[in-house]
Amino acid sequence: MILVEIAIPLLFMAILIRFKVRLEIVLPAGALVLALLFGMGPLDAVIVYGKLFGSAQFLMLFCVIFFVMLLGELMERGKMLTQMSSIFLSVFRDNRLAAAASAAFIGLLPMPGGSLLSAPFVDKLLPSEQNDRKLVLNYWYRHIWEYFYPLYSGMAWIITVMKVEPLSILCYMGPMSLIMVAAGIPLIRRTPRETPPGLATDEKAHRLLLIGWPILFAVTISLAGLPLWLSVIAAVTAFVAVNRRLAQFLLPYLLSKKTIFTIFMTAGIVYFERIVREAGVATAIYQALQSYNAEVVVFTLSLIIGLLTGISIAFISIVFPIISPFLITGGVVDMPLLTFAYAGGFTGVMLSPTHLCLIVTTDFFKTRLVTVYPAIVRAGIFMALGGGIYYAFLRMVT
């Protein structure tokens, strides 16, 4: 029964998407159906939506998304993205590898919707490829670091709350990133190798630092302790201060319909995550699965909540406290089981229709979730199966 209650809102959202309803409407509509199915009153659910617009979570997420999009727009206006694409092509000598590497490079900047920043690179490097395949390759390789990179909020939670050493995370969970890279190889192989028009092939690698300094600046000051939303705003401000001719594009962008869409898209993402928390979805699933063995419980619960929220930190902060009796025994974290649980949750995140990177790049590449989903699902299944095999291996050697 619990799986049916989970499937109904997902199916409902899939139908809305199939009929080309905008995601700014699909996300809150799906969240409302989920809330009602799990016993939350309709008025309470509406109140949750109304209140979130003044919340710090919404405002900070909106700032990050909006200013990342603005930075990408300004860098495109200044022809910087074309130059950076040329550098990746010069370094890798293969437009397909250059596209994957550019997405991975941007992945080193942990920010919501980061795939939107790498999307222009992939678009320029794969000029003859179909838009849905561009989206999938960009989306997949943008996230390869999330299994161990300590700057991602999910990893930070595990390090700070569960007291797991970063080196242990790298040793146990790092190989899952290699499995994820392998899962994306078919995406690269199916892409035509070509020389993109308008891109130089003699650029020097060090010029990436000179041209991409706004991105690196945002990363550096966020590492220094400044909140990510302030870091992105500071990067945009500094970029405009240095390139004053681009200031003319600020007001038109602010007043464009993209701003309105971004407001309600952000609200939909935050709303879905809040409904999962406040309606007690994770607890209900745990109670339904607790008679099964530990592996089934931690993987399935993480997978479902990852699928519902589309946010790594959300599935970790919601699920891991609930399954902590399985993950921690005698004060010692079971690293193989933790890795397996994370693999389940992150697979759900990558397959989630509420994943911000998937949503914003669908708009960028002018495609639809229905057309990109099969390739993402295939890669996700490969990653999940790889995670299961890797878990069995860890159990044999530890």
Mean pLDDT of 276-281: 79
pLDDT tens for each residue of 282-327: 677 777 766 778 888 889 888 988 888 788 877 787 778 777 778 8
Mean pLDDT of 202-224: 75
Whether the per-residue pLDDT at 389 is higher than 90: the answer is yes
Share of the chain above pLDDT 70, in %: 93
Q: How many helices (H) and strands (E) does the chain have?
A: 21, 2
Annotate 62-110 with DSSP letters as a single string.
HHHHHHHHHHHHHHHHTTHHHHHHHHHHHHHSSHHHHHHHHHHHHHTS-
Would you state the pLDDT for residue 199?
Answer: 66
Whether the per-residue pLDDT at 131 is higher than 70: the answer is yes
Would you state the pLDDT for residue 388?
Answer: 95
Closest of 272, 285, 265, 269 to residue 364, by C-alpha:
265
Closest of 139, 204, 193 to residue 365, by C-alpha:
139
Would you state the pLDDT for residue 205?
Answer: 65
Mean pLDDT of 246-272: 85
Q: Torsion angle, CA of 346/225/270/276, rounded to 10 degrees? A: 50
Q: Which of 109-113, 131-135, 264-268, 354-358 has the lowest mean pLDDT?
A: 109-113
CB atoms within 10 A of CB 326: 19
Would you state the pLDDT for residue 142?
Answer: 93
Model confidence at 202, pLDDT cuts 50, 70, 90, reads low
Residue where the block lists tokens 């997949």: 140
Mean pLDDT of 236-264: 88
With H, G, I as helix, E, B as strand and everything else as coil, classify residue 328: strand
CB atoms within 10 A of CB 240: 18
pLDDT tens for each residue of 217-246: 876 887 677 876 888 899 899 999 998 888
Would you state the pLDDT for residue 377?
Answer: 94
Structure tokens given for 273: 């995550």
Q: What letter represents residue 136's amino acid?
A: V
Whether the per-residue pLDDT at 215 is higher than 70: the answer is yes
Would you state the pLDDT for residue 268?
Answer: 83
Mean pLDDT of 101-130: 82
Would you state the pLDDT for residue 95?
Answer: 86
pLDDT tens for each residue of 152-182: 777 877 876 778 887 888 899 999 999 999 9
Would you state the pLDDT for residue 240?
Answer: 92
pLDDT tens for each residue of 5-47: 777 887 887 788 667 777 788 878 988 998 998 888 999 999 9
Model confidence at 147, pLDDT cuts 50, 70, 90, reads very high
CB atoms within 10 A of CB 45: 22
Q: What is the mean pLDDT of the chain?
A: 84
Whether the per-residue pLDDT at 66 is higher than 90: the answer is no
- Greatest Cα pair distance, the chain, in angstroms, is 64
